């Protein structure tokens, strides 16, 4: 061995130290060193230098991101260049010289203001790559896309990528309180350090913006829907402004939640009646005050007359009155109002699943054009599985915004591995049939079904101060996947899983293939071990941690699990057909008809729509009780399989994440068994039937499961609730 | 240039990437690469291989720490070896072969069970380094010491280090609640993730233990002194056990806070009377239950009959009755009780500064021998400056434990740079005179003054889930310095500052010298801009954030700042001489006499002991009002100087920490001015005198400062308060 070879060997030994700097703080932006030398050579040939035309913080962020990635991929600097082979050009279309802008003119018609074009071209015999767009933000998105192509080890020698987001408002909702606790947050404290804002700008704020921009998220609601009106005071607006300035170069608008009674709490007005002139003026002044500080402020998200929150009903006014009053205040500034449809009343004996529809559908067409009605994916509340919300498709003249929950309030907190894009995809793909076949929820949301001008999608964030942002290392995949589906609601969740795994861990097939499979199956697993066959809302009280099918002592009937499963000696399930609550009538006809009989209802929704006897015969010829029990057991077995799969992944994952996920999977397995045991013990009282042989006997008796208490489970509501 | 040189150059270019992995998560255990090649060669010559004799998790931890450090210093593996030149031998004395154990026999007499010996020796012509001790923990401490010698770039070619801790119980107190909020915590959530314990063992737990072991901290109280009795239930003991198992190899015992009313809250007994047989039995059973799970459990810390906490007085029993009852429960297991002396009553019209002494001193000699009475450094409550607590020296027959506060409840939270070891040192160095001159507080604490068998020192932790543990990057220095002074209360804080700076940032003199100076001066700065000349307890209500000298509306008189400064037209200050509360009489005579007259009272304590007219003539010939104002102004100018010094440090510090500290110093400067302006505006009403020319006029009027509200300032007490 000559000396050079020896030193190269030494060099090779040192590098693992560098690349082991991979930490889950970096999310899917790990930018792992490209080890394959052919691939590396081909990338280095394609990108030798960078030229940025134009001048803005957004273009600067694009250049910095590329430099960071390049450095990390290749251990070498990306140099600025003016011409030559391998030039990467970044510019929005207005900055391009004529020859270049002409070359992309036809493509331009196929992108919107946030879309981008990435194109390989040959100029004077030199190969170049051009990233261009109608706006600098488009260029930033294109930049992240080019980086991603390299993260995925795709060929970049001949690029022709054209892409645009299909939904306009792609927004995270943070249920973060001003005291830094996070309602339904399982990843530590709120990342917003209000006390030290605006003076301390943490690097996390920029990294949050980078991560969101990389997947196209363009808005963030900073505060809890259970709102505190202090956020609207001068003291806090100054803090919000500081965050907005960090986010602006990344194309992210900030929004706030508006507590409907804020005018009263400010001490300025003694009512919050939306038709009162002083109240209207108060909100207009407030909007002007905010926009003076934050010219690109996004607008307000409002939870009104829901679960104790104040709202227009307090003054015998309607949701339309309330939303339109706020909409008028922000309209001069191009702001929007996201008005939540999550309402149900303790005074209304009607099936809770029907109430939001009953309340909102009659208002169709009455909202101002800058109002989006924000509707949860299902009619109850972010359960492991719900049929799509019947409002989707039922308000053709109202922009409807989808609200998904990324934080796992009802899906095992941050300790269960559940890949939520699979759930999101299921809802988006469901067919409302309102304009005939293929009237999917996705088409409602992206506006294509009814030619909507304003479109939006929201995800309740699972982000906190945890060193890896989401607590569970795999919680990151749901944040990532939400962003991807917000950009394009027709994406396949399997593709999302695959790309996230590659970007976050490794491109090794032996890792990616089995883990993609694991991610995709993980959602069905949680449905099986928590709420199989259409069961829902049978969790424990307040913290929503663990099973509580026996709970029947809460003041509001529709807060009790017994309200939802209605188990008794006769059977189990909620009859939502015409013989029951008739919630089914809120769906368009092909569904309403198909689901009216248990025989033609998909088994996954069986007990959502039907109350059936324990010995009801299922498709496989077994009784309902038998299938209920075996499905719970299958859920447990699915988690056992996840454990096994993960154990084979040790060589592909850094030690810290490997161990953490191993421990978390053991928690998930323990809790899957707990759900199975507790729920089957409870339901068995009524079925009075033996467990199938394949299902183990519960370790404890029912009284034990009922006795468990968790007063300090995380994410509990603020005490006003 | 030949090829080898070229490649070496390339190699050199890569290395910055490695060493930039320095992050403040690693605290003072950065283990920066040794760049100086002479030094590196000398170290590599001294340590070529390692041999560990014996087998324990503690020895394993020692070996791992050395490997980690070696790898990081030299980019090379520390190999196991059996003999030869440059062998590093780790073993406790029982494992050493006779020739080696004989060589350290005389030194052994000079160390206690936690001490260590590090010795260079020549064996068969080979140079070796021996780290030995009476216990494996001693070996671990010696290991951290050897590593530190290298971090400090000291010569290790001829070592003869013998060191032992001077205080037995060196304990952190975490005021962490079970919901993960931290009372007076400014660094995020509690690091104890109770919900996921015992199943999820986070790497942070190990790193916490490493950091503490590296400075000799050997105990941690996991829970808030404002205690919740749930921590004593089976469900939580299992969680505590999991932490104890992580900490055990690092020599750290866990302790819990015992809520005095726990027997009642358990539902087992209907009283908590410490003389009741059932209550006694309950605590014995509880201790047995805990020790069955955690054999090295440390014992209990108790806040009783203080600020609303239950205690023996509820049953007309004394603190002795309460403490001894608990002491009996843990005595069979070698546990201890740390009983806090922080008591003051709303029903006692006596000067609050006198009450703890009045209550506890009569009990001297009556506590069981496994009880430590834990006394705050001063008689009020962790103010920027207090005279030492008069209990120190006044209870010669009772083991007294020092309680310092590392978290900056009254010193600017985690946004002010204040190097607290300077404060701790001041208290430890103060002379109580109880056994004549040189009866320092340090001698009370280490037991040497009255030949105490049991000694201890506690620090209220400033640790949370912040990525750098303490929020302010310099908050780490106070944690570090507390540990160092707990090990040796006679250490010089300047030396502590210097070593911390070197280990945490860089050994460059141009950094270390000015920054040591900055750290040392930082404590006096905060005294000047918050509470100069002996003022105290003039902060705002509840959160204790910012100035509130005007506060007079709180239900308990001694919670109001006006109670402490007593400013009026006649003057300012608390007369604690014989003409006032006579608190001074609680001190031994040389002090009592000297401080009885303002002329002979050190100016730093002037207004602590005297109420003086505004025109009182100070040593410099100026009026009290003049000096009060100029001292506030000096505090502001000190911070301006800190800003300037820091600005010169940019080249020595990574960008992230540099920027963060810069921003925090701006907050500190803003708040220093706020304190000056608010306090002088308030006091000027009474002095009716002009501000000296050197002191700028406040930017706002007094009403403005009084109007400021911070309902969500961090670290507020749990709501039961």
Contact (CB, 8 A) for B225 and B340 = yes
Q: Is A371 helix (H, G, I), strand (E, B) or coil?
A: strand
Contact (CB, 8 A) for A617 and A653 = no
- Contact at CB, A670 and B199, closer than 8 angstroms: yes
**Residue A647, Cβ neighbours under 10 Å: how many?**
11
| Alpha helical stretches, state H, A415-542 | 421-429, 441-445, 475-487, 493-504, 509-530
The helix or strand, by DSSP H or E, that contains position B213, with its residue range, turns out to be helix B203-215
**Residue B427, Cβ neighbours under 10 Å: how many?**
24
CB pairs under 8 A between A and B: 107
Among A179, A199, A710, select the one facing B667 at the smallest CB separation: A199
List chain A residues with CB under 8 Å of B660: 200, 202-203
Residue B510: both structure tokens together: 């141009």
| Residue A461 binned pLDDT confidence (cut-offs 50, 70, 90) | very high
Q: How far is B561 from chain A (nearest CA, A)?
A: 23
Q: Is B36 helix (H, G, I), strand (E, B) or coil?
A: coil
Task: Report which of B462, B468, B501, B570 is spatially closest to residue B152, judged by C-alpha positions.
Answer: B501
Give the DSSP per-residue string, B451-476: T-S--EEEEE----SSTTSSSSTTHH
Task: Report which of A101, A95, A94, A98 is spatially closest to residue A51, judged by C-alpha positions.
Answer: A95
Model pLDDT, residue B22: 56
User: pLDDT of A422-449, one tens digit each?
Assistant: 999 999 999 999 999 999 999 999 999 9
Q: How far is A8 from chain B (nearest CA, A)?
A: 8
User: pLDDT of A658-689, one tens digit each?
Assistant: 999 999 999 999 999 999 999 999 999 999 99
Q: Which listed residue (B176, B381, B430, B524) is catalytic?
A: B381
- Over range A55-65, report the average pLDDT: 98
Interface predicted TM-score (ipTM) of this complex, two decimals: 0.95
Spans of chain B, pLDDT less than 70: 1-22, 718-721
Strand ranges (E), A350-495: 371-376, 400-405, 456-460
User: pLDDT of A385-426, one tens digit each?
Assistant: 999 999 999 999 999 999 999 999 999 999 999 999 999 999
> What gap in Å lies between CA A33 and CA A40, rounded to an integer?
9
Residue B94: both structure tokens together: 């029982």
| Alpha helical stretches, state H, B75-202 | 98-108, 136-151
**Residue B620, Cβ neighbours under 10 Å: how many?**
9
Q: Which listed residue (B65, B176, B409, B430) is catalytic?
A: B409
Residue B594 phi/psi, 5-degree rounding, is -60, -40
- Over range A377-392, report the average pLDDT: 98
Whether residue B3 lies within 8 A of chain A, CB to CB, comes out as yes
Q: Which residues have a Cβ under 8 Å from the Cβ of B19 and sit 6 or more positions away?
A: B32, B33
Average pLDDT, chain A: 95
Task: Report which of B184, B665, B715, B169 is spatially closest to residue B405, judged by C-alpha positions.
Answer: B184
Model pLDDT, residue A345: 84
Whether residue A12 lies within 8 A of chain B, CB to CB, comes out as no
Q: Which residue has the tokens 């209802």?
A: A601
The structural domains of chain A, ordered by start, are: 22-163 (3.30.379.10), 169-504 (3.20.20.80), 528-574+611-707 (3.90.1330.10)
**Residue A621, Cβ neighbours under 10 Å: how many?**
8
- Contact at CB, B199 and A466, closer than 8 angstroms: no
List chain A residues with CB under 8 Å of B17: 18, 75
| Alpha helical stretches, state H, B331-396 | 352-360
- For a pLDDT cut of 90, what percent of chain A falls above it? 93
Model pLDDT, residue A392: 98
- Contact at CB, A415 and B200, closer than 8 angstroms: yes
Model pLDDT, residue A717: 75
| Helices A3-19 and B3-19: angle between axes, nearest 10 degrees | 10
Task: Report which of A402, A330, A404 is spatially closest to residue A371, judged by C-alpha positions.
Answer: A330
In the predicted structure, residue A720 carries a pLDDT above the cut 50: no
- For a pLDDT cut of 70, what percent of chain A falls above it? 96
Whether residue B563 lies within 8 A of chain A, CB to CB, comes out as no
Contacts with A, B 374-413, CB within 8 Å: 413
Whether residue A200 lies within 8 A of chain B, CB to CB, comes out as yes
User: pLDDT of B106-159, one tens digit each?
Assistant: 999 999 999 999 999 987 889 999 999 999 999 999 999 999 999 999 999 999
> What gap in Å lies between CA B395 and CA B362, rounded to an integer?
8
> What gap in Å lies between CA B682 and CA B632, rounded to an integer?
13
Q: How far is B233 from chain A (nearest CA, A)?
A: 12
Q: How far is CA B552 from CA B538, B547, B559, in A?
A: 10, 13, 8
- Best to test chain A binding among B8, B33, B199, B542 (most A CBs inside 10 Å): B199
Whether residue B1 lies within 8 A of chain A, CB to CB, comes out as no
Among B18, B200, B663, select the one facing A200 at the smallest CB separation: B663
Model pLDDT, residue A531: 98
- Contact at CB, B201 and A666, closer than 8 angstroms: no
Q: How many helices (H) and strands (E) does chain B have?
A: 22, 14
Among B17, B200, B719, select the one facing A18 at the smallest CB separation: B17
Q: Which residue has the tokens 């302010």?
A: B472
Model pLDDT, residue B718: 64
Model pLDDT, residue B2: 52
Model pLDDT, residue B348: 85
Whether residue B223 lies within 8 A of chain A, CB to CB, comes out as no
> What gap in Å lies between CA B489 and CA B653, rounded to an integer?
30
> What gap in Å lies between CA B465 and CA A466, rounded to an integer?
8
- Best to test chain B binding among A179, A196, A469 (most B CBs inside 10 Å): A196
Whether residue A203 lies within 8 A of chain B, CB to CB, comes out as yes
Whether residue B180 lies within 8 A of chain A, CB to CB, comes out as yes
- Contact at CB, A667 and B203, closer than 8 angstroms: no
Whether residue A9 lies within 8 A of chain B, CB to CB, comes out as no
């Amino acid at each position: 061995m000559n000396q050079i070879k020896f030193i190269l060997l030494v060099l090779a030994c040192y590098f693992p130290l560098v690349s082991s700097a991979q930490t889950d703080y970096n999310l899917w932006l790990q930018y792992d060193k490209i080890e394959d030398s052919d691939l590396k050579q081909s990338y280095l040939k394609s990108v030798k230098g960078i030229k940025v035309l134009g001048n803005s913080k957004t273009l600067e962020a694009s250049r910095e991101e590329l430099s960071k990635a390049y450095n990390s991929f290749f251990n070498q600097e990306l140099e600025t260049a003016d011409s030559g082979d391998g030039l990467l050009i970044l510019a929005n279309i207005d900055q391009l010289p004529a020859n270049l802008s002409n070359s992309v003119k036809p493509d331009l018609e196929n992108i919107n203001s946030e879309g981008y074009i990435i194109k390989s071209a040959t100029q004077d015999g030199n190969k170049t790559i051009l990233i261009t767009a109608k706006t600098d933000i488009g260029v930033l998105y294109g930049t992240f896309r080019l980086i991603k192509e390299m993260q995925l080890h795709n060929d970049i020698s001949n690029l022709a990528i054209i892409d645009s987001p299909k939904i306009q408002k792609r927004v995270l909702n943070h249920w973060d309180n001003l005291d830094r606790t996070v309602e339904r947050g399982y990843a530590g404290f709120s990342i917003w350090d209000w006390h030290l804002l605006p003076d301390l700008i943490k690097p996390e704020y920029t990294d949050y913006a980078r991560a969101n921009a990389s997947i196209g998220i363009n808005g963030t609601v900073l505060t809890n829907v259970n709102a505190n009106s202090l956020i609207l005071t001068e003291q806090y607006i100054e803090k919000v402004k500081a965050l907005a300035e960090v986010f602006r170069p990344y194309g992210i608008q900030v929004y706030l939640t508006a507590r409907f009674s804020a005018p009263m709490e400010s001490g300025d007005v003694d009512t919050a009646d939306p038709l009162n002139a002083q109240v209207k003026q108060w909100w207009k002044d407030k909007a002007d005050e905010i926009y003076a500080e934050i010219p690109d402020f996004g607008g307000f998200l409002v939870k009104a007359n829901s679960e104790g929150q104040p709202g227009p009903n307090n003054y015998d006014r309607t949701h339309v009155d309330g939303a339109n009053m706020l909409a008028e205040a922000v309209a001069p500034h191009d702001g929007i109002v996201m008005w939540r449809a999550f309402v149900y009343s303790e005074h209304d004996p009607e099936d809770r699943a029907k109430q939001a529809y009953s309340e909102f559908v009659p208002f169709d067409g009455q909202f101002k054009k800058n109002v989006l009605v924000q509707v949860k994916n299902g009619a109850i509340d972010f359960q492991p599985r719900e049929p799509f919300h019947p409002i989707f498709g039922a308000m053709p003249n109202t922009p409807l915004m989808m609200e998904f929950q990324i934080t796992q309030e009802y899906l095992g907190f941050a300790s269960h591995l559940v890949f939520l894009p699979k759930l999101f995809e299921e809802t988006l793909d469901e067919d409302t049939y309102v304009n005939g076949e293929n009237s999917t929820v996705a088409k409602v949301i992206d506006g294509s079904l009814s030619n909507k001008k304003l479109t939006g999608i929201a995800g309740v964030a699972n982000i906190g101060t945890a060193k890896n942002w989401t607590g569970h290392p795999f919680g990151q995949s749901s944040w990532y996947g939400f962003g991807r589906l917000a950009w394009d609601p027709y994406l396949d969740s399997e593709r999302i899983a695959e790309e996230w795994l590659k970007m976050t861990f490794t491109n090794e097939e032996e890792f990616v293939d089995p883990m993609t499979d694991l991610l995709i199956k993980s959602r069905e697993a949680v449905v099986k071990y928590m709420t199989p066959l259409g069961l829902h809302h049978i969790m424990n009280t307040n913290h929503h941690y663990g099973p509580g099918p026996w709970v029947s002592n809460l003041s509001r009937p529709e807060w009790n699990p017994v309200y939802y499963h209605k188990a008794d000696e006769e059977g189990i399930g909620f009859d939502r057909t015409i013989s029951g609550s008739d919630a089914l009538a809120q769906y368009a006809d092909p569904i309403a008809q198909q689901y009216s009989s248990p025989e033609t209802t998909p088994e996954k929704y069986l007990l959502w729509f039907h109350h059936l006897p324990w010995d009801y015969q299922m498709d496989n010829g077994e009784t309902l009780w038998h299938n209920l029990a075996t499905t719970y057991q299958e859920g447990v077995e699915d988690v056992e399989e996840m454990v096994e799969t993960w154990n084979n992944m040790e060589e592909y994952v850094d030690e810290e994440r490997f161990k953490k996920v191993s421990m978390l999977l053991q928690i998930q397995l323990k809790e899957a068994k707990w759900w199975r045991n507790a729920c089957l013990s409870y339901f068995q009282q009524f079925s009075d039937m033996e467990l199938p042989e394949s299902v183990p006997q519960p370790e404890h008796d029912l009284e034990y499961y009922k006795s468990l208490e968790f007063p300090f489970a995380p994410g509990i509501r603020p005490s006003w609730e």
